[in-house]
Amino acid sequence: MCRPRSESGVINVLPFRMGDRIAARVDLKADRKQKRLLVLRGHAEDGIEQAECADRLADELRALADWLGLESVRVTRHGPFARCLAEALGRRAGN
């Protein structure tokens, strides 16, 4: 079975927790030339309120981008959760 891989051959997925459970998973890349954090893929787990999860995750991604010295966060893929996350990020300054 073929699996998508990054250039290094390793898939890097960051789990996101809300309370005591994993609520979402995101695949991230720092685009240092453009000074932005890219969300290559995002997926909300079953049974999670997507809008609430996207709002909380957007705050954490913005904090991560700040910590990395990046100016913005951009969602690069489409899908139900990606749209929610892109909208949540759009409501925050610097994106």
pLDDT at 2: 43
Confidence of residue 13 (pLDDT cuts 50, 70, 90): confident
Residue spans of alpha helices (H) in the chain? 50-67, 80-90
CB 58 within 8 A of CB 87: no
pTM: 0.82
State residue 86 phi and psi, 5-degree precision.
-60, -40
User: Per residue in 21-57, pLDDT tens?
Assistant: 999 999 999 999 999 999 999 999 999 999 999 999 9
Whole-number Å distance between alpha carbons of 55 and 8: 31
